[in-house]
Amino acid sequence: MKKLILALSLFLSASLQAADDKKPVTYEGQITGVVCASCKAHITAALSQKLTGVVSVDVKPGANADQQKLIIVADNDAVTKETATEALGTYAKNYQILTLAKK
């Protein structure tokens, strides 16, 4: 009986450790409407608070002045353009996520 309990304990321990070893997933896309540091702060806060498992959000200058690069790092693969747009809430009227894909 002790061997069974020990084996079960080791199995559960290994399973829990494997679940903790998730690698972050990076998503990159294009967003419009970001014109200042305050805009960037609004986007970062909304996405970080409302999307599950977000590790970081960054907005960088894009190829042209009216589009910026959106980078989201999360510990899951459930982030989509639609979920990110929904997470923006009322800010979605000011900022439009054009594309968002896993890297």
What's the confidence (pLDDT) of residue 52? 93
- Does residue 3 lie within any of the structural domains? no
- Does residue 16 lie within any of the structural domains? no
Average pLDDT over every residue of 17-33: 83
- CB–CB of 100/47 below 8 Å? no
Average pLDDT over every residue of 1-22: 59
**Residue recorded with tokens 């590790």:** 55
**Residue recorded with tokens 């199995």:** 11
In angstroms, rounded to a whole number, what is the distance separating the alpha carbons of residues 86 and 46?
10
Number of domains, the chain: 1
| 62-97 residue pLDDT tens | 888 899 999 999 999 999 999 999 999 999 999 999
Average pLDDT over every residue of 45-62: 96
The enclosing domain of 56 has a CATH number of: 3.30.70.100
Task: Write down the pTM of the prediction.
Answer: 0.79
Domain that holds residue 90: 23-102
pLDDT over threshold 90, residue 14: no
What's the confidence (pLDDT) of residue 63? 84
High-pLDDT (> 70) share of the chain, %: 80
Say how many residues make up the chain: 103
When comparing pLDDT for 2 and 77, which is higher?
A: 77
In angstroms, rounded to a whole number, what is the distance separating the alpha carbons of residues 74 and 54?
4
Beta bridge partners of 102: 27
In angstroms, rounded to a whole number, what is the distance separating the alpha carbons of residues 78 and 74?
9
Average pLDDT over every residue of 24-42: 96
Phi, psi of 60 (to 5 degrees): -125, 160
